[in-house]
Chains A and B, each alone.
Chain A
Amino acid sequence: MAAPLVRNAFLMSTNRLAKPALIAASHAHKGLLQNAVAAQMRCCVCGIKTGPAESEENSSQAEQSPWTLMSAVCMVRRPLIMAELSDVERRYKAHLEQLHLETSVLSDHELQLIEEKVKLKQRRSRGYDDDDEDGSLLLAADKEDLAADKFQEFQPADRLTEADMKNDRSSQLRKLGVPLYLLVKQKLGDKAVWVMPQGSRQEGETLRQTAERILLTCCGTHLRTTFYGNAPCGFYKYKYPRTMRSENNVGAKVFFFKAELTGGDIECDSEGVEEFAWVTPEEMKEYLPQKYLDSVLPFATCL
């Protein structure tokens, strides 16, 4: 991949994320069109070949960039229950309920209740002479009692799970009302670092295919995911430590892809992955270094 391709094809900054049209433009081979090289270019983001038809001379012109292309996966576990209401929301909800109650009209059931109350009073005043002349099989009051009993039987589950009590960060069922992101302790070089699962791109792969492959290798085959799309959501560039640097290998450029967890558990393979954690954006500060966190937080937020 030629260096100009990587530099121009994906221009990311925090405010540009808010305008999808801009990103569309920047991805849409703007760099390629402007650079107008006679060689056939292959976009590493979507795998599309653009430019004139392949010829043997041109393929040998491809420059080797000193940056390794990597893709990382930002795996989200979407909230399983409704988020907790804020103070304003709670008060407004109570206010609305009261308002709806006061402005509503009596339902059939409530009308029946009232009628029956009146009838019972009359019967008591007369003194139990008639025996259920037009008595319905089930009085409205009885229906209410039955319903109340059934409601008592139903026990909704707790908002706080076992994992919350133990503060077990490796469990998916942690904070059910909030989206959780996956962080993995991976071996990059010789050190084990807390990152989002990442790996380098191989020949002939699109970045999204790389991301899918990395997820399988890092987290096992039992995990069921849905990738949100072909376009990356974030970018991070880092240089290798001076001892590992060379002419052809200055550092790595990581493109983040967003994926959603639809089911299954992580199988921790010892191949590079030691531990994993499901964390909220606030807790990420404890794991990730500052610069990495700065590139991750723009897309790993709770909307």
Chain B
Amino acid sequence: MLKAIFCRGLAQPSSARLCKKCWGEQVLPEVALVQSRGLRSREGALPQAGRRFRLPQYTKVEVEPVYPEGTIHEELLVSMKAYDMCSVEHYLQFLHRLAKKWNIKVLESYALPTRKIDIRHLETASRLKTFSEATLSLHERVLKLKNVTSTQVPLLLEVLRSHQPVGLTLAVKEPTEDDEMVRFKKNKELEELLETQSQIRR
């Protein structure tokens, strides 16, 4: 864990002033300023300034954040379903912007195919014949977030629940393989081949 020092722009290293990005702490987001070799002279300073004439030079380094075990969710899947496309799309955008604001990385943001739900009623005089009352389309949008800390999760959930639109179902969970496979279409030929293969083996 690299120790971040302070932002560019400050004339003097001071323990009272902390870098806005990292607040001078050891467990950090991705960028740290590290003292590199070499010294540069402060703008407009004369050699008579002495110690303050030359200042250490800093470079930005990409740091992999290190979190204590159990305090972070590496991937978090948020899925929202509604019959109203407008509200789902706007909610997805809201969540995406919120993640951007809170510096949570968004891995993926995708839509699952719309499911058409046909509501059928039995015709009054018959027991079997139905007529279609209405066709509803269920829209689903999914957002995958990366490295959400366990302190951000309750706040995120609170904001999401408070601003959840009417008629929208929200699900927040850790992604499994099933969530990945839902996105793919069934390959009938492949399945048939696998079946024949397993039959041959028997």
Are A28 and B23 closer than 8 Å at their CB atoms?
Answer: no
B103 within 8 A of A: yes
Majority-rule SS of A interface residues: loop
Residue of A nearest to B29 (CB): A21
Q: Which of B23, B67, B152 contacts A20 (CB 8 A)?
A: B152
Query: How far, in whole Å, are A179 and B29 apart by their CA atoms in the complex?
Result: 34
Are A48 and B154 closer than 8 Å at their CB atoms?
Answer: no
A228 within 8 A of B: yes
Query: How far, in whole Å, are A30 and B69 apart by their CA atoms in the complex?
Result: 14
Are A303 and B159 closer than 8 Å at their CB atoms?
Answer: yes
User: 0/1 per residue, A252-277, Cβ < 8 Å to B?
Assistant: 00000010100000000000000000
Residues of A within 8 A of B152 (CB): 20, 24
Query: How far, in whole Å, are A10 and B172 apart by their CA atoms in the complex?
Result: 26
* Nearest chain A CB to B33 CB, angstrom units: 17
Are B161 and A24 closer than 8 Å at their CB atoms?
Answer: no
A25 within 8 A of B: yes
* Nearest chain B CB to A235 CB, angstrom units: 13
Contact A230:B158 (CB < 8 A) given known A28-B27, A30-B25, A48-B71: no
Are A303 and B26 closer than 8 Å at their CB atoms?
Answer: no
Contact A28:B67 (CB < 8 A) given known A46-B150, A258-B154: yes
Q: Which of A21, A50, A260 contacts B103 (CB 8 A)?
A: A21
Residues of B within 8 A of A25 (CB): 23, 25, 27
Contact A231:B159 (CB < 8 A) given known A21-B29, A25-B23, A48-B68: no
A82 within 8 A of B: yes
Residue of B nearest to A50 (CB): B68
* Nearest chain B CB to A50 CB, angstrom units: 6
A-B pairs with beta carbons under 8 A, tally: 75
Are B27 and A30 closer than 8 Å at their CB atoms?
Answer: yes
A22 within 8 A of B: yes
Query: How far, in whole Å, are A206 and B138 apart by their CA atoms in the complex?
Result: 41
Are A24 and B149 closer than 8 Å at their CB atoms?
Answer: yes
Are B150 and A29 closer than 8 Å at their CB atoms?
Answer: no
Are A229 and B157 closer than 8 Å at their CB atoms?
Answer: yes
Are B162 and A23 closer than 8 Å at their CB atoms?
Answer: no
A42 within 8 A of B: no
Are B161 and A78 closer than 8 Å at their CB atoms?
Answer: yes
User: 0/1 per residue, B153-191, Cβ < 8 Å to A?
Assistant: 111011101110010000000000000000000000000
B151 within 8 A of A: yes
Residue of A nearest to B24 (CB): A25
Residues of B within 8 A of A214 (CB): none
Residues of B within 8 A of A229 (CB): 150-151, 153-154, 157
A27 within 8 A of B: yes
Q: Which of B151, B158, B159, B161 contacts A23 (CB 8 A)?
A: B151
Residues on A close to B: CB < 8 A?
Answer: 17, 20-25, 27-30, 33, 43, 46-48, 50, 78, 81-82, 179, 228-231, 233, 258, 260, 302-303
Task: Pull 22 A–B residue pairs with CB atoms less than 8 Å apart, ordered by A.
Answer: A20-B102, A20-B149, A21-B29, A24-B27, A28-B27, A28-B149, A29-B27, A29-B68, A30-B25, A43-B68, A46-B68, A46-B71, A48-B70, A78-B161, A228-B153, A229-B153, A230-B150, A231-B153, A233-B155, A258-B158, A302-B162, A303-B158
